A and B are shown apart, each in its own frame.
Chain A
């Protein structure tokens, strides 16, 4: 039996705000996560266990539990624990940011650790202090190695914003489900939503690829 496609149902103005919402959350939580990641990544390199152990617990906890549960937890459980009502947008944003931060910390730490020991020794032998050798020798090399995993994580992060719909943040995913519930056309609506995500991400991945080939000498 033939299914009658009707893509006219997707013609809704709500998409504009939905795309804006998705982009806002993606950019905001990626930038926030990057900042948390760099701070935690630097701290993970400290030789003091009382610094590294709590940060490792944070990183591993957020890396190893589903993001969906984290968002739900921040929305429903955190207000109960803190006895303080967190608005949906803040709960969702906090969950996404901490999730990104955990991965960024690990990307940063792994990038620095991947630099050959000989580089550290050569810089020390010249008489550089820890800060000098980090800034001049280790980070410039490590940064190049961090770009591909960071881009990868950012792409995932933008798609992960679709989980926001569970706490009713009107992003692309949420709007899709709203339109579906009134039109009963999930096939057309979700296909269109997927195309929107693709249209957002594909140019970004291409840009990142060009950036990578530029820094890679």
Chain B
């Protein structure tokens, strides 16, 4: 595979909710192995953008390419049928703010669920894969525990393992530490950091500025449905030029001393 083609390419993406124009023509590219971080005030459309990449929201117009799968939206393009959407999503891993583990399944069953149901992986093989992934996130000893008995940080790490089990081309992280107690944030960030070092392509929506500075190769500031500024962590977080970005960062830093 050549490096010339980006892993994710989004072109002129728009999303309307009735009269509300949530995303106003966003275009971006993420190369294979890229770590693309999106920051911005709440309501700026960053989570919506992420959910559009996984087609949990159907974009109003524009196009999205992930790996060798391309989707076009807008007049003349119907939302693809469920089977096509499912196949597309199986190549895109997503981790949610609220974990969304399946409460009627143990940790390891949560991780096995995707491969077994979607890919038809045999049970012993899926179990082995799931155990590997649980060890990777440091939770092998919790394999047979139900989600209700896990801490928030543990649950989120299982959720990451569950997404990884599909061996996706891309991982999407939607404010994955926002629902966690402060002392549990670190263990989840460490897992994501390890994935980044392993070369996983990822798009991360986050409020953890220090983490973004540490991991990202591109940071994007979203504001009112458009990309306000895009650049290296240095350009965006250390020497911001855009006045709205400056205001956002200063407000942010005053609220949460680093």
Which residues does A use to contact B, with CB under 8 Å? 116, 118-119, 121-130, 132, 136-137, 140-141, 144, 217
Q: Which residues in A have their C-beta under 8 angstroms from that of B98?
A: 118
Q: Which residues in A have their C-beta under 8 angstroms from that of B83?
A: 129
Size bin of chain B's contact surface: 20 to 34
Q: A127-B86, A127-B166 are in contact. Are A122 and B100 (CB under 8 A)?
A: yes
Q: Which residues in B have their C-beta under 8 angstroms from that of A126?
A: 89-90, 113-114, 117-118, 162-163, 166
Whose C-beta in chain B lies nearest to the C-beta of A131?
A: B82
Q: B89 is contacted by which of A116, A124, A144 (Cβ under 8 Å)?
A: A124
Judge whether A124 and B93 touch: CB under 8 Å: no
Q: Which residues in A have their C-beta under 8 angstroms from that of B104?
A: 140-141, 144, 217
Which residues does B use to contact A, with CB under 8 Å? 54, 56, 82-83, 85-94, 96, 98-104, 113-114, 117-118, 146, 159, 162-163, 166
Judge whether A127 and B87 touch: CB under 8 Å: yes
Q: B82 is contacted by which of A116, A123, A129 (Cβ under 8 Å)?
A: A129
Q: Which residues in B have their C-beta under 8 angstroms from that of A140?
A: 104
Q: Which residues in B have their C-beta under 8 angstroms from that of A118?
A: 96, 98-100
A129 to B163, CA, bound (A): 16
Q: Which residues in A have their C-beta under 8 angstroms from that of B99?
A: 118
Q: Which residues in B have their C-beta under 8 angstroms from that of A121?
A: 56, 94, 96, 100
Judge whether A125 and B163 touch: CB under 8 Å: yes
Q: List 28 A-B contacts (CB under 8 A).
A: A118-B96, A118-B99, A118-B100, A119-B100, A121-B96, A122-B102, A122-B162, A124-B56, A125-B56, A125-B92, A125-B94, A125-B163, A126-B90, A126-B113, A126-B163, A126-B166, A127-B88, A127-B114, A128-B86, A128-B114, A129-B82, A132-B86, A132-B117, A137-B113, A141-B102, A141-B103, A141-B104, A217-B146
Q: Which residues in A have their C-beta under 8 angstroms from that of B100?
A: 116, 118-119, 121-122
A39 to B89, CA, bound (A): 29
Q: B118 is contacted by which of A116, A127, A141, A217 (Cβ under 8 Å)?
A: A127
Whose C-beta in chain A lies nearest to the C-beta of B165?
A: A126
How near does chain B come to A163, taking the closest CB pair, in angstroms?
39
Q: A136-B113, A141-B103 are in contact. Are A128 and B118 (CB under 8 A)?
A: yes
A144 to B89, CA, bound (A): 29
Question: 4 nearest interchain CB pairs?
Answer: A127-B90, A118-B100, A122-B100, A126-B114
Whose C-beta in chain B lies nearest to the C-beta of A125?
A: B94
Judge whether A125 and B89 touch: CB under 8 Å: yes
Whose C-beta in chain A lies nearest to the C-beta of B81?
A: A129
A129 to B82, CA, bound (A): 6
A124 to B58, CA, bound (A): 13
Among A118, A121, A122, A128, residue most surrounded by chain B Cβ atoms (within 10 Å): A122
How near does chain A come to B141, taking the closest CB pair, in angstroms?
20
How near does chain A come to B19, taking the closest CB pair, in angstroms?
23
